[in-house]
Amino acid sequence: MSTVHESDPKDRPARLTVGVVGAGRVGPALAASLRLAGHRPVAVSAVSDTSVRRAAELLPDVPVVPPAEVLQRADLVLLTVPDDTLPGLVEGLAGTGAVRPGQLLVHTSGRYGTRVLDPALRAGALPLALHPAMTFTGTAVDVQRLAGCSFGVTAPDELRLVAEALVIEMGGEPEWIAEERRPLYHAALALGANHLVTLVAQSMELLREAGVTAPDRMLGPLLGAALDNALRSGDSALTGPVARGDAGTVAAHVAELRRHAPQTVAGYLAMARATADRALAHGLLKPELAEDLLGVLAGGTDAAGAADGTDGGGR
């Protein structure tokens, strides 16, 4: 069963030939999703062996060609390259005359809006910024995950309907982001999603060190519930020793981390400080308990002493 959302036929863009410049994890999945909506992928550029294999798996029978030739063949071109590579790529394509007037040029960078496409705009291209707020694996499962996925969309007013239609055809939900807000939008997603992976990976390592044989099974229900609670209730969902003001427990944590995983201490302290600030601001952390806790987080309490019960271990 197709996961592509149905849109009103009058709002859909005409069936387009689609090209992909950069066969990383995102581009082939989006092109495959557009194929399900009736568009026709005709060309993809790929450099590494991995990207060539990925293109072959998700876009079978679509030829791998240089970027300029992708633009020659396609009405709609997906520029799915790393953020820092995008400005130079656009300038290079526009400078060599590869961009055609009336061609839809779509990038998927969260950081940039449409201004980064100005060189192509001057060459007559139609610029769109469509960033899927999703993590990608580079496999067919990504196409399914686009169902209900929000896209951060930035487009000129005259292209808003086209941008909306393309996102909906890929199964997504358009969320309009102003040009000047794109970096803040992207920072928010990176803070929530990218850093979450780091936190989970560190937590699993520490659980293994503690003797837990299946840390993924232990964390799955806990983290799933925590995420659900946070999305439903925001800061009201805060629990744990920081929100309770258990300074002795936090000091013991820090001591253990210094002993077994010193590389995690800075992150633990930073997140604990941010959690304490939010707990205080929302009335969850009692002010009379905050002083000792903030002292621990600032390094004012001997964490090593707390671990052996000589400094706050009984709190």
The confidence score (pLDDT) of residue 13 equals: 62
- The C-alpha torsion from 159 through 165 and 169 to 174, rounded to 10°, is 80
pLDDT of res. 289: 93
* pLDDT score for 19: 98
How high is the pLDDT of residue 89? 97
Parts of the chain with a pLDDT under 70: 1-13, 300-315
Q: From residue 163, how far is each of 105, 106, 123 by CA, in Å? A: 11, 9, 20
**pLDDT score at 176:** 98
Rounded Cα distance, 157 and 155, in Å: 6
What is the per-residue pLDDT for 283?
94
Residue with tokens 């390094």: 299
With contact defined as beta carbons under 8 Å apart, do 78 and 89 qualify?
A: no
pLDDT at position 14: 73
Taking alpha carbons only, the member of 77, 137, 149 closest to residue 107 is 77
What is the reported pLDDT for 184? Answer: 97
What is the rounded CA–CA span in Å between residue 260 and residue 262?
Answer: 6
Could you count the other beta carbons within 10 Å of the beta carbon of residue 17?
Answer: 14
Give pLDDT, residue 307. 41
pLDDT value at residue 5: 46
With beta carbons less than 8 A apart as the criterion, state whether 72 and 45 touch.
Answer: no
Q: What letter would DSSP give residue 139?
A: S
